[in-house]
A and B are shown apart, each in its own frame.
Chain A
Amino acid sequence: MTNWERLKQQIVESPVWRSMFRHGYEDTPRNRILAVSGNVWLHLHPSKVRKHGVRLKFTWCMGGITFLMFLITIVTGIYLMFYYRPVAEYAYADMKYLEFDMPFGMLMRNMHRWAAHAMVIAVWLHMFRVFMTGSYKPPREFNWIVGVVLLVLTLLLSFTGYLLPWDQLSIWAVTVGSNMARATPLLGHEGPFREFVGVNAVYDARAFLFGGGEIGPHTLLRFYILHCIFFPLLTTVFLIVHFWRIRRDGLSGPPL
Chain B
Amino acid sequence: MAEAKVATPATTARRAKAKAAGPSDDKIYTWPHLVRVEFICTLLVIAGMLVWSLLVDAPLEEPAAPTRTPNPSKAPWYFLGLQEILVYFDPWHAGVVLPSLIIVGLMVLPFVDTNLKGNGYFTFTERKYEITTFFVGFHIMWIVLIVVGTFLRGPGWNWFWPWEPWDTHKVVAMNNVDLPYLLGFRDYWAQAAVGLVMILGYFVVGTVAMYAWIVRLKGKDWMQRWGAARFGIVSFLFLNMIAVIIKMGLRLGMNVKYILVTPWINV
Q: Is B184 located at the chain interface by the 8 A CB criterion?
A: no
In the complex, A182 Cα to B96 Cα: how many Å? 10
Q: Contact: B106 with A159, CB < 8 Å?
A: no
Residue among A33, A49, A99, A137 with the highest chain B CB neighbour number at 10 A: A137
Q: Nearest residue in A to B118 (C-beta to C-beta)?
A: A134
As a 0/1 sequence over residues 183 to 219 of chain A, the CB contacts with chain B under 8 angstroms (1 = contact) are 1110010111100000000000000000000111000
Q: Which residues of A contact B (CB under 8 A)?
A: 29, 32-33, 35-36, 42, 45-52, 54, 56, 58, 61, 64-65, 68, 72, 88, 92, 95-96, 99, 106-107, 109-115, 117-118, 120, 124, 127-128, 131-138, 140-141, 144-145, 148, 151-152, 155, 158-159, 162, 165-173, 175-177, 179-185, 188, 190-193, 214-216, 251-254
Q: Contact: B110 with A177, CB < 8 Å?
A: no
Which one, B11-19, B38-46, B221-229, is touching chain A? B38-46
In the complex, A112 Cα to B37 Cα: how many Å? 24
As a 0/1 sequence over residues 29 to 73 of chain B, the CB contacts with chain A under 8 angstroms (1 = contact) are 111111101100110011001101110111111111110111001
Q: Contact: A131 with B134, CB < 8 Å?
A: yes
**Closest approach, in angstroms, between the C-beta of B53 and any C-beta of chain A?**
4
Q: Is B191 located at the chain interface by the 8 A CB criterion?
A: no
Q: Nearest residue in A to B42 (C-beta to C-beta)?
A: A68
Q: Which residues of B contact A92 (CB under 8 A)?
A: 63-64
Q: Contact: B28 with A48, CB < 8 Å?
A: yes
Q: Which residues of B contact A (CB under 8 A)?
A: 26-35, 37-38, 41-42, 45-46, 49-50, 52-54, 56-66, 68-70, 73-79, 82-83, 90-92, 94-97, 103, 106-107, 109-111, 113, 115-123, 127, 131, 134, 138, 264-265
In the complex, A190 Cα to B96 Cα: how many Å? 12
In the complex with contacts A47-B30, A56-B37, A191-B92, A176-B119 CB distance below 8 A:
no
Q: Contact: A170 with B53, CB < 8 Å?
A: no
In the complex, A172 Cα to B50 Cα: how many Å? 29
In the complex with contacts A56-B37, A145-B107, A168-B63, A176-B91 CB distance below 8 A:
no
Q: Contact: B46 with A49, CB < 8 Å?
A: no
